[in-house]
Amino acid sequence: MDKKLNQGAGEILKRVREKRPLLHHITNFVVMNDTANVTLHVGALPVMAHAREEMKEMTGIANALVLNIGTLSKEWIESMFIAGRKANSMRIPIILDPVGAGATKLRSSTSLELLSKLEIAVLRGNHGEIGAVAGAGGKVKGVESVEGIKDPVKVAQSLAKKYKTVVVITGKRDIVSSGKETYFVDNGDQWLSTNTGTGCMSTTMVAAFCAVEKNYAFASSAALACYGYAAEIAAKNAKGPASFKIALLDTLYNMSPSQLAKGAKIYAA
Amino acid sequence: MDKKLNQGAGEILKRVREKRPLLHHITNFVVMNDTANVTLHVGALPVMAHAREEMKEMTGIANALVLNIGTLSKEWIESMFIAGRKANSMRIPIILDPVGAGATKLRSSTSLELLSKLEIAVLRGNHGEIGAVAGAGGKVKGVESVEGIKDPVKVAQSLAKKYKTVVVITGKRDIVSSGKETYFVDNGDQWLSTNTGTGCMSTTMVAAFCAVEKNYAFASSAALACYGYAAEIAAKNAKGPASFKIALLDTLYNMSPSQLAKGAKIYAA
Amino acid sequence: MDKKLNQGAGEILKRVREKRPLLHHITNFVVMNDTANVTLHVGALPVMAHAREEMKEMTGIANALVLNIGTLSKEWIESMFIAGRKANSMRIPIILDPVGAGATKLRSSTSLELLSKLEIAVLRGNHGEIGAVAGAGGKVKGVESVEGIKDPVKVAQSLAKKYKTVVVITGKRDIVSSGKETYFVDNGDQWLSTNTGTGCMSTTMVAAFCAVEKNYAFASSAALACYGYAAEIAAKNAKGPASFKIALLDTLYNMSPSQLAKGAKIYAA
């Protein structure tokens, strides 16, 4: 655990709250409410919009773009590309969440197409999803990872190099790699896995932090530390998954930069 | 604060619970669950439906229609017009929530088109949205108001006259005007701004009250007083935005007409 | 109350947790988050997907299919048939929730078409919806049942025979019939009716139990007992509908097979 890194995490959180970046989400129906709330609670501003007619304009006022393929359809893929190209032209970060990659060809091929044709700042998935995108094994059942990949750190590093992106694999220990830099984040709690959408929420956290910090690998690590540490605190009084989620959202809102600097568990590899 | 007005608010709430009006929502994906629950908790019945094929029939059994443009698309705009024309032919109130007007041309122009081509009973938005619709300044970032309008009372009054509607601007002090009558509502709590969809929920409240009271300006004021007063009570034990929201929904359900008559802060201008 | 039946209910719950069946939902926007969470809490795995392009493949890895028509559209009906035919070819159960049948022709005719052209394992609705499907009276207002049917047990039995399916009518006393076997379940609490989507959640419960037990009538009864008994426990400390819902979800997660065997109230007719 590196004190400077943890301090840095707190400083990025502070910046999110000062700048209130706008996060344009094209995301799935299941998590829209939760991810909009996470956006607000961490200090950023959310907008959920998918109509082709307003994509350029909406992304045009945003500070980061989230592309989440959880409840995909052809029309939405089109909108993702319009928004993505606009984001690239503005040099704002795109965070891609390949929900369920590996479960169907549509999800796997859409993930790869978005990665190939757009400059993706951060790719965030669970072991199964990243394994599927990398062709490295792992297994998803629906949208849940049910089998890990063999050497996740190497997979993250080589996938990051291949697509010039930052790869984030969330799990018991989160792995973040730009290909050059690699970080581990040991915050988190197993209650997270009992709720739907907790992966998608972590993607939103990454977007908020990357909107105000250009070192996307470190910004992602800081975001995951903030989210995971909030989960640790929330777990203390949880009676079940639903009361845990309420506490998680409350805690995110109440998390101070100095508190985060103390509780973060970020390591440079 | 006018005792008669507050008493009147309690009486409308009582009527909602007796008549159980059906509120047909064509609304955004982010808030569908919350607004359906608010509908039930206040004593009305919800239905969320958007398919062109069933629009006339579904609006045909409703007592009020909510049009909310938060996650707009071309197909849904078509359905809004079909439902809107049916509502007008039945003389049931349409409540329009121009979510994100000002953020994109699609949202601004759709709001204006709905206002021009349909008879809208109540237009409910935040300062930025109403400013955009009125061409009177104000600013939204995504769907959040980040800058007020200069003279909101005058803007509300003149916009109400122009479109023969009731204009509601929600904020620290809510402004309600039919052009002739103007009301202020001072209930509410700042926790409301920490959750997504709290504006949309207030629109649903307005729909429930307008479904049973033809004086739409007063019905809207009563609805906002009920919602804002519930927020005040809920704020007392809130530890964060999520526990606040749970308490808000519980409190709405438990609010009695006599309690509302005591806690409402409605003023005639 | 039959001890053996209750014991059996506990055993099915145990099997759900061991096998973790994947439930493919094509469901409405209002309840997607809640039903995904109920799926996880009871021990199964959720996936929400509707794109025609991935239907066969997604259903192809599932252990049960939920078709819920709550926010229907033409495109989604197509996807329901593709997924449904795949499910039938795999011999996995389809659970149909005819939300709002009776409210519009689209909903009534789609329900009947799905029932006629697919082999539906279980049809689950409230009194108004099942009455509409059976042509036996009952009344829905939007999506809420506001009037019962005259002889619900007979309606369930004859509808079950007609479509070779299991019919479930949920209400104060739940009725489950395969035409041959008929069960009653007396678990439940009136707080359930104060939240939107509680019927849809019960459908998800039925899907989880039918995914691991081929006697669909008994599996459905066991699922409803589990859900209803969780509601009874959650009701004890509820201050309103929202805190009740949190407690319901927590309780479902914490429900043990032996606890269910003690609390279930299943009767054979």
Q: Name the percent of chain B lying above pLDDT 90.
A: 93
Q: Smallest Cα–Cα separation from B122: which of B168, B91, B158, B67?
A: B168
Mean pLDDT value across chain B: 97
Best mutation target among A48, A57, A74, A201 (most B Cβ atoms within 10 Å) is A48
> What is the per-residue pLDDT for C148?
86
Domains contained in chain C, number: 1
> What is the per-residue pLDDT for B67?
98
Residue predicted with more confidence, B217 or B3: B217
> What is the per-residue pLDDT for C1?
60
**pLDDT (mean) for B234-258:** 98
> What is the per-residue pLDDT for A1?
60
> In this complex, is the C-beta atom of B107 within 8 Å of any C-beta atom belonging to chain A?
yes
Q: Which of A29, A72, A195 sits opposite C40 (nearest CB)?
A: A195
Q: Which segment of B31-35, C66-70, C141-145 scores lowest on mean pLDDT? A: C141-145
> What is the per-residue pLDDT for A138?
85
> What is the per-residue pLDDT for B142?
87
| pTM of full prediction above 0.90 | yes
**pLDDT (mean) for C240-255:** 98
* Number of other residues whose CB lies within 10 A of the CB of residue A90: 14
Torsion region of A78: left, alpha or beta (phi above 0 gives left; psi -120 to 50 gives alpha): alpha
Bridge partners (DSSP) of residue B122 are: B95, B166
| Sign of the torsion formed by the C-alpha atoms of C77, C80, C86 and C90 | negative
Mean pLDDT value across chain C: 97
How many angstroms away from the CA of A260 is the closest CA of chain B? Answer: 17
* C98 pLDDT more than 80: yes
> What is the per-residue pLDDT for A172?
95
Indicate yes or no: CB of C246 within 8 angstroms of CB of A241: no
Q: Which of B73, B105, B242 sits opposite A50 (nearest CB)?
A: B73
Distance CA(A2)–CA(B184), nearest Å, equals: 54
Q: Is B238 helix (H, G, I), strand (E, B) or coil?
A: coil
ipTM value greater than 0.95: yes
Q: Is B241 helix (H, G, I), strand (E, B) or coil?
A: helix
Report which DSSP code applies to C165.
S
Indicate yes or no: CB of B41 within 8 angstroms of CB of C197: no
Q: Which domain holds residue C224?
A: 3-268
Indicate yes or no: CB of B74 within 8 angstroms of CB of A61: no
Residue C123: give its domain's CATH number.
3.40.1190.20
Q: Which of A51, A61, A246 sits opposite B243 (nearest CB)?
A: A246
Q: Name the percent of chain C lying above pLDDT 90.
A: 93
> What is the per-residue pLDDT for C142?
87
> What is the per-residue pLDDT for A2?
76
3-state helix, strand, coil in chain C (%, to 5): 55, 20, 25
**pLDDT (mean) for C38-63:** 98
- Residue numbers in chain A where pLDDT is lower than 70: 1
What distances in angstroms separate CA B119 from CA A257, B44, B166, one per listed residue?
Answer: 50, 23, 11
How many angstroms away from the CA of C163 is the closest CA of chain B? Answer: 26
How many angstroms away from the CA of A251 is the closest CA of chain B? Answer: 7
> What is the per-residue pLDDT for A204?
98
